[in-house]
Chains A and B, each alone.
Chain A
Amino acid sequence: MSGIRIQAVTKRFGATQVLRGVSLDVAAGEFVALVGPSGCGKSTLMRIVAGIEQPDSGRIMIGAGDVTHRRPGERDVAMVFQSYALYPHLTVAENIRVPLALRRLNAWQRLPLLGGLLRGTADAQYLMDQDVRRAAEALGLRALLDRRPAQLSGGQRQRVALARAIVRRPKAFLMDEPLSNLDASLRVQTRREIVEIHRQAGAATLYVTHDQSEALTMADRVAVMQGGELLQVATPEAIYADPQDLRVATFIGSPRINTLPAETGTDGMVRVAGHPVGLWGARPGPLTLAIRPEDLLPAGTGLPARAEALEFLGESLLLHARHEASGTALVLRLPPEMRADLPTSGSLFHLQFDTTRALLFGPEGRRIGATALSAEAALV
């Protein structure tokens, strides 16, 4: 049974095409992070899954049913909003209870005072109280049940929003940048808790974020989105090491991946500014060579570059340099012990890299195959 199935969804706001035919499956029990720069359409996609927005074309399935034309309340999804969207006039307990009350009680039973006299209300109330307590317990909110949102810290509000989402055991969770309003240390801690909640609930989770480290650390699979399109959907490891699109390669990873203009000659050798780099391309023509900062090393021979600045980050060093021939800025991530051996600012040195980890991209940014000469082979 699939959790969430998004099929060829398009959406246009006025003149701008926000979504250009997006398809994505989130299996039951799976955690998929939707990551991309702001304005890429990821929040719109999530709001379409929730039913807050309507797609121009395409279908949304949740569980087994097509919910494209269902109201948000009929979709069996729960959503955690960026601003948490807690009802300020209700206590924590009442906030968590809202989605239950709106589903389990009819309009008469919800009336204050009178509703309590109707048959079935008391039983329903009792069961709801139990569910609210269970959800609150799971998030450590027991002591706060009678507070109002204004009396809570950001982290506590966030938990209430999570509790309101899990309390009715929906088929799918939608989370729209739920951590972006927390401070840095709390964010790291809450990441693990959200994953844990997801694991216990076992529902399909779609998690929108612009923060790649959240996406990589939390998700089973990461969906990278840009300009209203999904570029790649894969495990965090594959997204990092094996990106299929230059935009994915440059978006994921910090510092950014190094890119150098290169060319495959008629002899099949890949050259950067005339220097063969120990890779064979499939077809002659221009291409882009991309290497992660940790895969570049200073050496006696190789691509000539000029050292510019050194940054000490504690666990590593960043050496900023410039490729001599093309003027492209480069970054090397090095172990801190190497500090004494590094070229001084302004001096010329040479670069080597592990050819098995180098990536080649065609002129349209699509990944193209490369054959390494030998695993450790450096370049000329």
Chain B
Amino acid sequence: MSEAALATRRAAGWGEAATAWLLSAPAAAAYLLMLLLPTLATVALAFTDYELGAAAISWVGFDNFAELLRDAGFMTSLRNTVVYVGLVTPGSIAGALLLALLIEAGTRGRTFFRAVFFLPVVSLTVAMAAAWQYLLHPTIGPLNAMLRMLGMAGPEWLSSSSTVLLSLAAIGIWENLGFNLVLFLAGLTAIPRELYAAAEVDGAGSGWERFRLVTWPMLGPTTLFVLTITMIRAVRVFDTVAVLTQGGPNKASDVLLFSIYEEGFSYFRLGYAAAITLVFLAIVLALMWLQTRVLDKRVHYG
């Protein structure tokens, strides 16, 4: 290449680089200000005793984390979150898979039922929580009215510490099911029809045999994806707790995000709230790591 051609090329290259920087600059600035610095600040805060309005701030090392371990309230909140995730994840995944298989088994009503099950995803959670509050109301709620008609005394769903988490999980399943259903439907449509034909010719006569041989393994990547995002969505439960129970009764429905909210914005113990935030972040990151490193290898073939 001649000197001149090289020079032009270099100029063009710099033009390209300058354009790229210019195009990325606004995003980079916002990223720095709204994402990176605040995240680092949260990490830093977790090692301080900072309280809003307090005159002094000092490093306390791992004191906040040590306090977390001793804090019965936090432990309850962590345990509740795990139980909630443990209920919502299998419930909404199994339900969604079952309904997706039912919808996919025929041609009628596909769009209609998809819309019905998807409706909660686009509905204002706070408003629907109010609707659930009425539905589950111990005395005037239609659910308990129905149970009374059947001669049963309904529990006090959201106001009894023994049923509150269960009730919230039921609402959580209701909220997440449609989302998972849509993902499963997409996964099911992507399975080549010829595989089912091959399975039939190979002697897989029953629907269950074809499910075992074709559907379930072919859905592997979708199921893994659905599993992780359902868990991540469930760990982030906040709206229903904030609206319906405020963590009560007696902390029986306290969850991680609500603890952060209370410690940080009701009691203004920002250092301590930041420590809880880091626990929350660690759980989310662990789930993502599980997806990419461990499970991914087992469900992608080749």
> Do any beta carbons of A and B sit within 8 angstroms of each other in the complex?
yes
**Residues of A contacting B201 in the complex (Cβ-Cβ under 8 angstroms):** 50-52, 72-73, 77-79, 99
Query: Quick one: closest A residue to B200, CB to CB?
Result: A72
**Residues of B contacting A52 in the complex (Cβ-Cβ under 8 angstroms):** 197, 200-201
A146 within 8 A of B: no
Q: A85-B197, A99-B203 are in contact. List 7 more A-B contacts (CB 8 A).
A: A51-B200, A85-B198, A88-B302, A89-B218, A98-B213, A148-B301, A150-B301
Complex contact A83–B202 (CB within 8 A): no
B13 within 8 A of A: no
Q: How many residues of B contact A (CB 8 A)?
A: 20
**Of A47, A88, A98, A148, which one neighbours B202 at CB under 8 angstroms?**
A98
B195 within 8 A of A: yes
**Residues of A contacting B217 in the complex (Cβ-Cβ under 8 angstroms):** 87-90
- CB A161 to nearest CB in B, in angstroms, measures 9
Query: Quick one: closest A residue to B195, CB to CB?
Result: A85
Interface string of A247-290 (1 = CB under 8 A from B): 00000000000000000000000000000000000000000000
**Residues of A contacting B214 in the complex (Cβ-Cβ under 8 angstroms):** 87
Pick 7 A–B contacts, CB within 8 A, sort by A: A73-B201, A81-B197, A87-B214, A89-B301, A98-B199, A98-B202, A102-B204
- CB A101 to nearest CB in B, in angstroms, measures 9
Query: Quick one: closest B residue to A81, CB to CB?
Result: B194
A71 within 8 A of B: yes
Binding site for A on B (CB under 8 A): 192, 194-195, 197-205, 209, 213-214, 217-218, 220, 301-302
**Residues of A contacting B213 in the complex (Cβ-Cβ under 8 angstroms):** 87, 98, 102
**Residues of A contacting B205 in the complex (Cβ-Cβ under 8 angstroms):** 71, 73-74
Complex contact A89–B220 (CB within 8 A): yes
Give A265 to B134 CA distance when docked, in angstroms.
95
**Residues of B contacting A89 in the complex (Cβ-Cβ under 8 angstroms):** 217-218, 220, 301
Interface string of A178-198 (1 = CB under 8 A from B): 000000000000000000000
Complex contact B302–A151 (CB within 8 A): yes
A199 within 8 A of B: no
A12 within 8 A of B: no
**Of A78, A98, A149, which one neighbours B302 at CB under 8 angstroms?**
A149
Complex contact B302–A164 (CB within 8 A): no
- CB A115 to nearest CB in B, in angstroms, measures 13
A103 within 8 A of B: yes
- CB A151 to nearest CB in B, in angstroms, measures 5
Give A368 to B229 CA distance when docked, in angstroms.
71
Interface string of A61-84 (1 = CB under 8 A from B): 000000000011110011101110
Query: Quick one: closest B residue to A170, CB to CB?
Result: B201
Count A-B pairs with CB separation below 8 Å: 72
**Residues of A contacting B204 in the complex (Cβ-Cβ under 8 angstroms):** 73, 102
**Residues of B contacting A164 in the complex (Cβ-Cβ under 8 angstroms):** 202
**Of A51, A83, A88, which one neighbours B301 at CB under 8 angstroms?**
A88
Complex contact A150–B200 (CB within 8 A): no
Give A85 to B199 CA distance when docked, in angstroms.
9
Q: Which A-B residue pairs are the 10 nearest by beta carbons?
A: A150-B302, A73-B203, A102-B203, A85-B198, A89-B217, A99-B202, A72-B200, A85-B194, A88-B301, A72-B201
Give A149 to B300 CA distance when docked, in angstroms.
12
**Residues of B contacting A99 in the complex (Cβ-Cβ under 8 angstroms):** 201-203
Complex contact B195–A87 (CB within 8 A): yes
- CB B202 to nearest CB in A, in angstroms, measures 4
- CB A342 to nearest CB in B, in angstroms, measures 50
Query: Quick one: closest A residue to B209, CB to CB?
Result: A102
Give A74 to B198 CA distance when docked, in angstroms.
13
Give A151 to B217 CA distance when docked, in angstroms.
17
Give A50 to B196 CA distance when docked, in angstroms.
13
Give A148 to B192 CA distance when docked, in angstroms.
17
- CB A277 to nearest CB in B, in angstroms, measures 51
Within 8 A of B (CB), among A284-339: none
Give A298 to B245 CA distance when docked, in angstroms.
98
Complex contact B200–A82 (CB within 8 A): no
Complex contact A73–B301 (CB within 8 A): no
Q: Which of A79, A85, A99, A148 has the most C-beta atoms of chain B within 10 angstroms of its own C-beta?
A: A85
**Residues of B contacting A51 in the complex (Cβ-Cβ under 8 angstroms):** 200-201
Query: Quick one: closest B residue to A82, CB to CB?
Result: B194
**Residues of B contacting A88 in the complex (Cβ-Cβ under 8 angstroms):** 217-218, 301-302
Query: Quick one: closest A residue to B192, CB to CB?
Result: A83
**Residues of B contacting A82 in the complex (Cβ-Cβ under 8 angstroms):** 194
Query: Quick one: closest B residue to A83, CB to CB?
Result: B194
Complex contact A73–B197 (CB within 8 A): no
Query: Quick one: closest B residue to A52, CB to CB?
Result: B197
- CB B302 to nearest CB in A, in angstroms, measures 2
Give A149 to B302 CA distance when docked, in angstroms.
7
Q: Which of B194, B201, B203 has the most C-beta atoms of chain A within 10 angstroms of its own C-beta?
A: B201
**Of A47, A71, A149, A151, which one neighbours B197 at CB under 8 angstroms?**
A47
**Residues of A contacting B202 in the complex (Cβ-Cβ under 8 angstroms):** 73, 98-99, 102, 164
**Residues of B contacting A103 in the complex (Cβ-Cβ under 8 angstroms):** 203
Give A71 to B199 CA distance when docked, in angstroms.
11
